[in-house]
Amino acid sequence: MYSKRLAALFLAAVCVAFFASARMAGDPRPAWAAPSRPAPRIVSLIPSLTEDLFAIGAGPQVVGVSQATDYPAAAARLPQVASSASLDAERIVAFHPDLVVGIPAQAALVAPLRRAGLRVALLRDDSFADIFTDLQGLGTLSGHAHEAALLAERLRKRTTALASGVPRHARPRTFVVLGVDPIYTVGRRSYIAQLIALAGGTNAASLDSPYARYSAEALLQAQPDVVVADKNSGFAAVRERLPWSALHAVQDHRAYVLADPDILENPGPRYNDGLAWLIPRLHPGGHSAGYRGR
């Protein structure tokens, strides 16, 4: 069993070679270079970008989304035109979108759309900083730049309030479970690892890749202080088995299953909810200003 984020990683692995060659070819324009007019019809291929569009007031302009889209409710009711590894190019073209947005790992998938003359913008979603860059870009492309700037300011203020209440006396080593057979987790360069740092912890997996497989032997050696698992990862079914049962975090009841993984895994406007969920689990006796538990 795997999380939706892990499905997106498989997509990235498939497309990485194409993307590398595309970058070498060079495109001097930013992915969100200002259009001559805002896009009235938008197809979004990534749930986090869809959330961004709805959050800045561009939801009525979205005409198609990916199968993984389940938030907000209005977006979940839209036609689904893509999965984690494919898209329906003919259907997308038939919608006559003025803009298609996705991430760089989808460069190969969107090639037919570009050949059909559609405008495509691929926005990075790897880091914490990308959240705000993407809001700026989508605001520019959709004609909601002012709303995007206001949202970014509100998000930063809440992040500051949450982080200000994080205890500084300890930084619990935290292991994130995206899949269990095989084990998949997050590396130090992932957006999730950056959220863990904001929550006053450190990522227990010493990996250079943002997301990667992890061995049972390395997990036992790491002995994280806290385990955080996506509810779709399969962790709940194996926590009483090795190697999980031999982890101090599991034995000490510091292994938590996140009921709404998207607030932690999607680098979108709900990331503060993920941060607010993390803080009291990394610091059970601590206090965080602005915390609203889920």
- Domain limits, the chain: 4-158, 167-282
Q: Of 2, 149, 138, 121, whose CA–CA distance to 58 is shortest? A: 138
DSSP 145: H
Rounded Cα distance between 58 and 142, Å, is 7
Residue 130, C-beta contacts closer than 8 angstroms, at least 6 positions apart = 123, 124, 191, 267
Assign a CATH topology to domain 167-282: Rossmann fold (3.40.50)
* pLDDT computed for residue 32 by the predictor: 55
* pLDDT computed for residue 5 by the predictor: 52
DSSP 220: H
* pLDDT computed for residue 36 by the predictor: 63
pTM of the model: 0.85
Structure-block tokens of residue 71: 């938030």
How far is CA 129 from each of CA 43, 68, 132, 159, rounded to the nearest angstrom? Answer: 23, 23, 6, 13
* pLDDT computed for residue 169 by the predictor: 78
> In the chain, which residues have pLDDT < 70?
1-36, 286-294
* pLDDT computed for residue 122 by the predictor: 96
Rounded Cα distance between 150 and 171, Å, is 32
Assign a CATH topology to domain 4-158: Rossmann fold (3.40.50)
Residue indicated by tokens 């602005």: 290
Helices 191-198, 271-282: inter-axial angle, 10-degree rounding: 50
* pLDDT computed for residue 20 by the predictor: 37
Domains 4-158 and 167-282 share a fold: yes
Is 201 in contact with 173 (CB distance < 8 Å)?
yes
* pLDDT computed for residue 206 by the predictor: 84
Q: Per-residue pLDDT tens for 244-288?
A: 999 999 999 999 999 999 999 999 999 999 999 999 999 987 644
* pLDDT computed for residue 288 by the predictor: 41
Is 270 in contact with 149 (CB distance < 8 Å)?
no
One-letter amino acid at 65 equals V
Structure-block tokens of residue 176: 């994130």
